[in-house]
């Protein structure tokens, strides 16, 4: 294992809607890479909007259950192509033009084995460490792993894993700090105001009040689970402001901190 301090950064799929946004974020990250060689970075990404577009073009209806995309087997070629193919390579292209040295991976190469989460969700997966990860070698070599949220099972089945859950699993495996870069500046309260910190009781209350719903509910629950495993706070902030990422990497408090 590398002795570098590792950061796992999860990029919200909407960042793909703007090439400039991804480029600016990677440029900010490259500034940090050049300044401090003792840190390593792993980027995990989704791509929900791209998947929606591909499925719609193919004539499929899409449905979600508690923020998770129901993924029937017949839709998986499109989901895999969108996430592990198009989205991954689009982000690689932006990382390269920003001066980084990315490597595109799926969850299997990153050291996670995937199994079916719930039969009713189809090919939605959950992942566990399998002890054979390429990430440490990549980080020692100064590369930036760009990991799509596509997983592979022991029987060769393909799975669509929630990217937030995948990022949390990788952070746990690597003992890394974890940052969720999402579409919003922070988690918001019922009045639409940003919350600096959230603990389990507050999260439970806001979910019960339907203040936190859908994809944000998945993200907050995943963040809390990760914070407990990592035994430290996990941050949710916005990819729309690259300076937020730099501030977090420098130890500043930006966005919402989910406490264990």
b/e sequence 25-62, b meaning 16+ C-beta within 10 Å: bbbbbbbebeeeeeebbbbbbbbbbbbeebbeeeebee
- The closest of 250, 44, 252 to 161, measured between CA atoms, is 44
For this structure, is 219 an active site residue?
Answer: yes
Residue 68 has pLDDT above 90, yes or no: no
Candidate list 4, 47, 125, 164, residue with the active-site label: 164
What percent of the chain is predicted at pLDDT more than 90?
A: 70
pLDDT digits (tens, 9 = 90+) for 169-193: 999 999 999 999 988 889 999 898 9
Which one of 13, 46, 111, 255 is the catalytic residue? Answer: 13
Domain that holds residue 191: 5-258
| pLDDT(1) > 80 | no
- CATH number of the domain to which 208 belongs: 3.40.1160.10
How far apart CA 251 and CA 184 sit, in angstroms, is: 20
Residue 239 pLDDT more than 90? no
> What total number of domains does the chain contain?
1
| 196/183 Cα distance (integer angstroms) | 16
Catalytic residue, from 4, 10, 117, 221: name it.
Answer: 10
DSSP state letter for 12: P
Is residue 29's pLDDT more than 70?
yes
- Give pLDDT, residue 145: 98
Please write the tens of the pLDDT for every residue from 77-121. 999 999 999 999 999 999 999 999 999 999 999 999 999 999 999
Report how far residue 116's alpha carbon sits from residue 118's, in angstroms, rounded to the nearest whole number. 6
Question: Could you give the CA distance from residue 83 to residue 181 in angstroms, rounded to a whole number?
Answer: 17
Q: Is residue 210 among the annotated active site residues?
A: no
The confidence score (pLDDT) of residue 17 equals 81
pLDDT band at 4, cuts 50/70/90?
confident
- Of 12, 40, 46, 48, catalytic: 48
Percentage above 70 pLDDT, the chain: 99
Please confirm, yes or no, whether 36 is among the known catalytic residues.
Answer: no
Identify the pLDDT of residue 12: 81
pLDDT of residue 143: 95
What value does the mean pLDDT take over residues 41-46? 95
Closest CA to 11 of 254, 220, 240: 240
pTM for the predicted model, two decimal places: 0.92
| Confidence band for 28, pLDDT divided at 50, 70 and 90 | very high
Q: Active site includes 104?
A: no
Query: Which one is predicted more confidently, 12 or 76?
Result: 76
Task: Identify the band that residue 41 occupies on the pLDDT scale cut at 50, 70 and 90.
Answer: very high
């Amino acid at each position: 294992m590398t002795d570098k301090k590792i950061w796992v950064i999860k990029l919200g799929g909407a960042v793909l809607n703007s090439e400039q946004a991804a480029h600016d974020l990677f440029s900010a990250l490259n500034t940090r890479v050049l300044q401090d060689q003792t840190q390593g970075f792993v980027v995990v990404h989704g791509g929900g909007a791209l998947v929606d577009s591909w499925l719609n073009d193919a004539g499929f209806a899409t449905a979600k259950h508690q923020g998770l995309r129901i993924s029937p087997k017949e839709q998986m070629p499109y989901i895999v192509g969108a996430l592990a193919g198009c989205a991954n390579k689009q982000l690689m292209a932006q990382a390269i033009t920003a001066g980084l040295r990315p490597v595109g991976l799926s969850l299997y190469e990153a050291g996670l084995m995937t199994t079916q989460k719930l039969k009713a969700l189809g090919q939605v997966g959950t992942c566990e460490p399998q002890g054979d990860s390429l990430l440490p070698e990549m980080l020692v070599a100064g590369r930036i792993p760009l990991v799509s949220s596509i997983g592979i099972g022991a029987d060769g089945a393909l799975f669509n894993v929630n990217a937030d859950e995948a990022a949390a699993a990788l952070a746990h495996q690597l003992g890394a700090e974890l940052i969720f870069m999402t579409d919003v500046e922070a988690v918001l309260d019922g009045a639409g105001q940003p919350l600096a910190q959230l603990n389990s009781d507050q999260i439970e209350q806001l979910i019960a009040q339907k203040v936190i719903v859908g994809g944000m509910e998945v993200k907050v629950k995943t963040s809390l689970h990760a914070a407990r495993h990592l035994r430290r706070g996990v941050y949710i902030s916005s990819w729309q402001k690259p300076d937020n990422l730099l501030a977090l990497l420098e130890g500043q408090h930006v966005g919402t901190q989910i406490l264990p």
